[in-house]
Copies of this chain bind each other. A is one copy, B any other.
Amino acid sequence: MSHLLDYISANAQRFESELMELLAIPSISTEPENAPDVRRCAEWLSSHLTAIGLQNVKVFPTKGHPIVYADWLDAGADKPTILFYGHYDVQPVDPLNLWTNPPFEPTVRDGKVFARGATDDKGQVFLHVKCLEAWLATHGSLPVNVKLLIEGEEEIGSANLEGFLEEHKQMLACDSVVISDTSMYRKGQPSIVYGLRGLCYMEVHVQGPNRDLHSGSFGGAVQNPLNALAHIIAKLKDENGRIQIPGFYDDVIELTAEDHTQFAALDFDEGDYKRAVDVDDLGGEPDYTPLERLGARPTLDVNGFIGGFTGTGAKTVLPAKASAKISMRLVANQNTDDIAAKFTDYVQKVAPKGVRVTVENHHGANPVLVPRDGFAVQAAVRALERAFGKTPVFTREGGSIPITLLFSTILNAPTVLMGFGLNSENAHSPDEHFDLENFHLGIKASALFYEELG
């Protein structure tokens, strides 16, 4: 092993230079004019994967941007097969004037590399590539069978991924998936994300009279759709943040004593948290700590509403209609279709008379809860501990990564979410960066992860 780790140390500078090369390619998936750059990025990766000794390297075209595939399957049938998933596309860069250096001219400051895609997800993809290079260069082999799937449409919804998984089910068959596209709980604290919330995103439309009316001439007799919508929204949650939709909590897996302990161990500072968003008090269910509410409890938030006169000043209108976008974050084992149906029924039931209510289902995703005792998760625990010199913590993220569900349903494989980013690294924002210490520790940790798996 020391040979492997020596190689990683000895080549650290070159790894950084290569990462800069990858980061310099403006592979913005949502901008049509960047399509050639996206393609160029896929080609750059495939050349690189070939050069380090991976096999069957191929750039698969899709209806959108290409998918890069590579593998190394000579570890033997008695060794597990691991599918690494990542993405090489990046978010747009607006507003450009808020960047300290141009987003595709990677620049190192204070031990961090600043560039679009640095932490999300090129830096985290590349550290896996570099650990595989180190293995192949020092051992001529990998300790397990490895497949790489690196797509170019994650930032625009992975529209072509599901079809690709279905079509190439055999090629992609594996015992576990590993993704490095999440954040560490804090710098120096290795973390494994074992829970992701699902989503149920609805929109409620309330139609009152057939046109905007004068509030003086009609107010008091005609039901106001804005008051009606506020009434509906207020009925969705009680004052303690408990959601009032019948059956909403039926499938929620309650937190175990171990869960509570692990959340408590995370040492959350409520004062810092409140100061960071500048509020005097937090909201939500009082029986759970804020971290538990964020990661392990479902929520309901109005994401936007509009109705009537919203300009400057005053207009005495009784508006014809109003609407609200309302989304629920779900936790295991809630099902987004079931929740959408319960939401719709309840909204119709509590709607006041005199208005017509329609409910639209925008989209949804089921929650994910990865068993913490799986072989790959346990290998990640040991590898992270060896690389960082610190026991990793288990965390749950409040957001959704719908891809993990595709792997579970199509490939029937669990996912290990072993991330090396930090929440403070401005993913999707100007001055995105990636901590280079975490880049090098990530190479080491993933090298040890593959060893532990073997």
* Chain A contact residues, CB within 8 Å of chain B: 197, 199, 201, 203, 208-211, 213-224, 226-227, 229-231, 233-237, 239, 241, 273, 277-285, 290-291, 293-294, 297-310, 313-319, 322, 324-325, 327, 329, 352-356, 362-363, 397-400, 423
Contacts and interface: CB of A to CB of B under 8 A. Distances in A.
Contacts of A282: 221-223, 354
B329 A215 contact: yes
Nearest to A428: B214
A285 to B, nearest CB: 8
A279 B218 CA distance: 13
A269 to B, nearest CB: 13
A143 to B, nearest CB: 35
Given A221-B293, A301-B227, A279 B354 contact: yes
Contacts of A220: 241, 284-285, 290, 293-294, 297-299, 329, 398
A298 B220 CA distance: 7
Given A229-B230, A306-B306, A224 B301 contact: yes
A93 B226 CA distance: 28
A398 B216 contact: yes
Contact of A277 (B197, B222, B299): B222
Nearest to A360: B314
Contacts of A319: 302-304
Given A308-B325, A315-B303, A221 B400 contact: no
A282 B213 CA distance: 14
Contact of A304 (B284, B285, B315): B315
A339 to B, nearest CB: 15
A354 B283 contact: yes
Contact of A303 (B237, B278, B318, B398): B318
Contacts of A241: 220
A273 B223 CA distance: 13
Contacts of A239: 231, 352
A229 B302 CA distance: 10
Given A222-B277, A281-B354, A309 B303 contact: yes
A309 B229 CA distance: 16
Contacts of A356: 280
B315 A355 contact: no
**Candidate in A215, A293, A354 with the most chain B CB atoms within 10 angstroms:** A215
A146 B230 CA distance: 52
A236 B353 CA distance: 18
A227 B233 contact: yes
A278 to B, nearest CB: 4
Nearest to A232: B230
Contact of A294 (B210, B211, B218, B233): B218
Contacts of A301: 215, 219, 224, 226-227, 318
A318 B283 CA distance: 12
B197 A279 contact: no
Contacts of A362: 313-314
A226 B327 CA distance: 12
A280 B324 CA distance: 22
A353 B274 CA distance: 13
Given A216-B329, A233-B230, A279 B398 contact: no
A214 B309 contact: no
Given A239-B352, A329-B215, A303 B299 contact: no
28 contacts: A201-B316, A203-B314, A209-B277, A216-B399, A218-B277, A220-B293, A221-B273, A221-B283, A221-B291, A221-B294, A222-B277, A222-B283, A226-B233, A226-B302, A226-B305, A226-B324, A227-B301, A227-B302, A230-B230, A230-B233, A280-B354, A281-B353, A283-B352, A303-B316, A304-B317, A305-B308, A305-B310, A305-B322
A-B residue pairs, 9 tightest by C-beta: A216-B399, A304-B308, A223-B283, A234-B234, A230-B233, A226-B302, A209-B277, A210-B278, A304-B309
Contacts of A313: 362
A452 to B, nearest CB: 30
Nearest to A296: B220
A61 to B, nearest CB: 26
